[in-house]
Structure 1
Amino acid sequence: MLWFSFIPVSALLAAASLDNHHEHRVKIEQAAPVDNPALPGGPAGKTEIRVSGKLGGQYDTVENDTLRFWLRVWQPGIPNYPVSQSPATFHINGYPVGLFSINRHPQVFEVETDYRDMRDKDIPSKTVSPISLCNDKLARLSGEELRSFQRDGGEFYNWAAYNAIVEQIWRVRKHRLASGRNSTETKRFVDSTPLGVTIICEPLGAPTPVGKPSNAVSKVALRAAAMGSETIGRQSCPDKVRLYATIEARHRTKFKVLMRGPKFLTPPKDLLFGEAGSQSVTETFDVRWDATIDELATTAGKRPDMQQKLNFHVNVADEQGRLLKTAETSIVLQCNVPPKPARVRLPGT
């Protein structure tokens, strides 16, 4: 799999006089999520959008800042009488995302773009938010199915959520024996493919009972710290996040405390205050890393360090389950490539 830096292609696309040629000179398709490098082009990952919401409420937040797609691209053939070719340009929903060198052999490219809402499946010119799709799913459930979805969350696949286009420009001779000035012309070859995404609706927890909550809690704070280490490919990465919640009460009372994060929801924990004061609650989150990322080809000879941003919440409720206060925090986890041990040459060796 190859990875390249994303280069704006506006200058390349400025040649508005070029015609599009839909001959089989360039092909693009979404690579299926596999981790078998023996498959054509190399390994690929799954494009995901994560959606979260408040405890017992509805979905209201897209957690993604970016989207990652894996695209398999190749040249089934070349035009007649070629002189030169440009790198291929990729677009996602009309936005340029990179400039790449391709050839006859299928290659899988990972491209990353800023998050944007999906295309409407019926009206591609309109967009639809995954927040509304998760809430629609929630609204269609009832009884034990609803409680299960609130407790565990869910996911579903949205086909044709985005559209990818590859374009390549060739300079060719107008005919086999053409020479001199005005003997060449420019052709643009284009192909496109729909892109599917997996929408992950995070757990919401149980519904909040009606009624007026107390004001017994005066302050809630949450912080996160990276812990541990594991080796992913050639990189060393933190494998746990320790969460520290601090709750302050105004008087004798009893709270229920839970924490949540990406695919993470703790059971409610009882917290008893015999008098006004402060107490702490800790939880540990196991970090997941995608081992295939480290195997991407390097840019300018340098292997990019992996990282991910995680968001966490702590919710404090009364004994009836009514939400009293909430706090949130985020942490950016950074991997690194350990330096190679220095080799010391001793005298006489």
Structure 2
Amino acid sequence: MASPPITEMTERAREIFRRVVEGYIESGQPVGSKTLASDSALNLSSASIRAVLAELEGLGLLAAPHTSAGRMPTDTGLRIFVDGMMRVAEPTSEERAQIEARLSEGGPVEQALQQASALLSDLSGAAGMVMVPTREQRLAQFSLVPLGQGRALAVLVGEDGGVENRVLELDDPAAAGSLEAASNYVTARLAGRTLGEAAQMMRQEISAGKSDLDDASRDLVERGLAVWSEDADQRPVLIVRGAANLLDEAALGDIDRVRSLLDDLENKQSVSALLESAKEADATRIFIGSENRLFGLSGSSVIASPYRDREGRVVGVLGVIGPTRLNYARVVPMVDLTARSLGRSLDKLIV
């Protein structure tokens, strides 16, 4: 049976349904008729409330877990509540100030992304997630630093202050003497370019014999660039903070579900694919439980919002993942505000 829209439910049914959902979100426990009857605002007997609860269960909006006399919302019920009944709680002035302060501290882009993920986790009590921007940053410096024992450290510095490094094996120990020449050659051609742009130009120069590098230095340049040309699947795509928050008291009663969720989070490519679907959304998107295949088994919800650069282009997505009893009314506007704040912060970091 298809669930009726909110407008087709009686006022009594809507009010009892709303109280069950809000009570479940607050406590994580099923809500029983005795609890509802004790609320003088309803002015209904336990018998009357039980009849309405049974009706809502028959419509697929509520469920009675195990042998509990209480009811909890189904994924369908939560969707109807979120779309038609939720009373959004805008972030307080203190929360707004905290978000703006933590995302305007400066530093490398990576630091801002980590701050956003940790911030979402702290404010929601769940796990925060931020997709790394897909845009190629402009680079400022390239260095090859000797490590000894036939190894060197290839270091890239971005114009935003971000630093990445990887170890390069040196087949010829004598090549260590050419590290400085190779570093200077690459850095001179990086200014204001992406790595892809600089690499293409340098390879053309080397193949055309237009560089003044000796054989050892040319080999170092080629190999130094090669270590940054790994498949995109090997690069970080997602920053997750606060996964331990998912192990709350209520979750420990269903450890298999939590284990499934943590396994899903370990597979960051799959999580990123889900967040990718929120990239073109005009507003914050909410994925509830079985509505998404990835988290259907773990009974979790995802609240996600794209963040944009100064031109309004989407460069990534951030969000929160937690149990289906997330406080949607509070978390949804918080995710939206964090996305907008992160976008403004990145404008100051990405030239």
Same fold (TM over 0.5): no
TM-score normalised by the chain length of structure 2: 0.29
Structure number having the greater strand percentage: 1
Structure number having the greater helix percentage: 2
